[in-house]
């Protein structure tokens, strides 16, 4: 039997049975729960036995549709221990999205939170493969069993299922912001790679406490925690996001590492700037690392952060679900002088920048970033054509445009599909966004291309103004005179910048919203 994440959990239970494994904080309700490694493993075994008793065996699929909680991870590892594929779903998926995922995955069981009952009920008559429904909560619908009850009534003895690193393990669906969600098939080897890479990149030890906020269904947040999981470090699940709740969790749980999304870091800085939060009211001396990923990180944001936390370690992480989450490229602790870059290949990863023919471009030139390592997905499930376009000779084509500087650091330029072509010139939105982020009063910004008869496209920006600040179109355009003329926005909109649960700007929504505005086409 190979080492897998299921065996890591069992090992942690043997080595650290009485140490706290997970803490769940619900600040809005002033509730806190914790579980030891022995309890965590026992409950996962109980759920695995419950699934096996309902016919789940190696290679089957189980839909996992839950909000962050300790039980989320109990269910996840219980599914993995059976040898089945765990299929975690985005909590924002509609009933139609869930139906689509079920049509692809053909699950035998759906595990869901009670708040999703309506979505499941709307489609359950159209899911012939699903034999059982298991619901977590107090209000269990008539068609489902109680998660708590099936766990409590099942034995905690480990299942006798032989798992190998080559076995399939998880089916992850992309967020679906650019069309139908794509199913990404991951193996046990992929999962182990995430544990090893994250631990090596961030030097996590048993003494670290990882504060985890982003949704667990996404590979990004869970795989960051995997770096602590592999060494038995405590994880803190924070349900709800506010600067105060984040600081309370770090202070009261003695958090040492936190992964933030750009908007959350922005909110913290706004509260610090306004004096609504005072650092001296919290115990933060042990907080050693803050890292950000999932989207381009404005250098101005990190420079601002370092003014408040000059001695705190910082890292930028780059990854994608197809690489089993973050870490295939990262800035690296101690490389703050290169803030703005995504960095160098992570532990046990390779990276190249190539042209449309797959040939390496010259240093300094822009091309597509491709990566290779043990975290590269098995395939897009049931889609060999898309798989062949994305994985070539073992290299994963990320769809991200990048360049490499003279020191070997990789700078993300933008998504290939988001490049704005205006008058024959390529404009990479992130360059415009980073520049506008340096303007006082800007909370967030998105640059998009809008159709233009003469130029093909023009650059438009959506600016979200920081609370208590004011900005005019003239001020934004004046500031942008520091950009080359072809990169300057021709139109400024003031609006909220929409981001998905993993922090990525939802540019298709913005293009759809603003492409119908006639004034946007005027030069």
* Amino acid 522: pLDDT: 32
Task: Say if 196 falls within a structural domain.
Answer: no
CA-to-CA dists, residue 323 to 194, 231, 329, 425, angstroms: 9, 22, 10, 31
Contact 175, 294 (CB under 8 A): no
Task: Say if 301 falls within a structural domain.
Answer: no
Q: Which of 293, 291, 213, 217 is nearest to 253 (CA)?
A: 213
* Amino acid 232: pLDDT: 98
Residues of the chain with pLDDT under 70: 1, 175-179, 294-296, 414-416, 424, 453-454, 501-503, 516-523
Contact 211, 258 (CB under 8 A): yes
* Amino acid 172: pLDDT: 95
Beta strand residue intervals within 405-441, DSSP E: 410-415, 420-422, 425-427
Task: Say if 135 falls within a structural domain.
Answer: yes
- Which CATH number goes with the domain that contains 86? 3.40.50.12780
Domain with 156, as residue range(s), is 5-11+35-189
User: pTM to 2 decimals?
Assistant: 0.83
Number of domains in the chain: 2
Of 123, 156, 189, the one marking the end of a domain is 189
CA-to-CA dists, residue 186 to 106, 182, 317, angstroms: 17, 13, 20
Of 166, 189, 212, the one marking the end of a domain is 189
Span 331-356, pLDDT tens digits: 999 998 898 899 999 999 999 999 99
Of 124, 159, 189, the one marking the end of a domain is 189
Task: Say if 485 falls within a structural domain.
Answer: yes
Task: Say if 244 falls within a structural domain.
Answer: no
Contact 30, 197 (CB under 8 A): no
Task: Say if 202 falls within a structural domain.
Answer: no
Task: Say if 321 falls within a structural domain.
Answer: no
Task: Say if 383 falls within a structural domain.
Answer: no
CA distance 385 to 308: 49
Contact 360, 352 (CB under 8 A): yes
CA distance 137 to 111: 11
- Which CATH number goes with the domain that contains 493? 3.30.300.30
Residue with tokens 């595990």: 111
> How many CA atoms lie less than 13 Å away from 335 in the CB half-sphere?
21
């Amino acid at each position: 039997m190979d080492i897998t994440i299921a065996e890591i959990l069992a090992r942690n239970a043997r080595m650290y049975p009485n140490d706290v494994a997970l803490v769940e904080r619900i600040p809005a309700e002033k509730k806190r729960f914790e579980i030891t490694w022995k309890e965590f493993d026992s409950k996962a075994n109980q759920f695995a036995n419950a699934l096996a008793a309902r016919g789940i065996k190696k290679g089957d699929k189980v839909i996992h549709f839950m909000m962050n909680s300790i039980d989320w991870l109990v269910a996840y590892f219980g599914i993995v221990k059976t040898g089945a594929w765990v299929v975690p779903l985005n909590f924002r998926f509609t009933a139609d999205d869930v139906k689509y995922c079920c049509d692809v995955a053909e699950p035998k069981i759906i595990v869901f939170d009670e708040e999703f009952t309506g979505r499941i009920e709307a489609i359950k008559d159209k899911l012939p493969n699903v034999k059982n429904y298991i619901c977590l909560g107090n209000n269990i619908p008539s068609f489902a069993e109680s998660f708590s009850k099936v766990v409590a009534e099942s034995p905690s003895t480990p299942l006798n299922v032989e798992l190998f690193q080559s076995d399939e393990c998880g089916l992850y669906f992309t967020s679906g912001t650019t069309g139908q969600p794509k199913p990404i098939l991951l193996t046990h080897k992929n999962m182990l790679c995430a544990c090893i890479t994250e631990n090596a990149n961030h030097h996590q030890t048993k003494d670290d406490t990882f504060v985890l906020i982003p949704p667990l269904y996404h590979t990004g947040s869970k795989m960051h925690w995997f770096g602590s999981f592999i060494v038995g470090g405590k994880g803190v699940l924070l349900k709800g996001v506010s600067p105060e709740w984040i600081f309370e969790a770090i202070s009261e749980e003695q958090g040492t590492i936190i992964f933030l999304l750009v908007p959350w870091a922005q909110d913290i800085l706004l509260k610090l700037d306004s004096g609504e939060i005072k650092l001296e009211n919290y115990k933060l001396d042990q907080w050693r690392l803050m890292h950000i990923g999932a989207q381009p990180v404005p250098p101005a944001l990190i420079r601002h952060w370092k003014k408040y936390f000059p001695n705190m370690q910082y890292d930028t992480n780059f990854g994608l679900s197809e690489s089993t989450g973050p870490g295939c490229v990262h800035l690296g602790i101690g490389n703050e002088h290169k803030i703005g870059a995504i960095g160098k290949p992570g532990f046990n990863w390779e990276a190249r920048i190539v042209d449309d023919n797959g040939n390496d471009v010259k240093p300094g030139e822009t091309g597509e970033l491709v990566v290779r390592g043990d975290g590269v997905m098995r395939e897009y499930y049931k889609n060999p054509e898309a798989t062949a376009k994305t994985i070539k000779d073992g290299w994963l084509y990320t769809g991200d445009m990048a360049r490499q500087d003279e020191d070997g650091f990789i700078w993300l330029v933008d998504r290939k599909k988001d490049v704005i072509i205006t008058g024959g010139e390529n404009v990479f939105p992130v360059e415009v966004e980073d520049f506008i982020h340096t303007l006082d009063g800007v909370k967030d910004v998105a640059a998009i291309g809008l159709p233009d008869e003469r130029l093909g496209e023009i650059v438009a920006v959506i600016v979200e103004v920081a609370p208590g600040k004011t900005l005019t179109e003239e001020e934004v355009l004046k500031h942008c005179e520091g950009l080359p003329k072809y990169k300057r926005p021709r139109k400024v909109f003031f609006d909220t910048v929409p981001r998905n649960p993993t922090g990525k700007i939802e540019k298709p929504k913005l293009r759809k919203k603003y492409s119908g505005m006639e004034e946007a086409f005027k030069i």
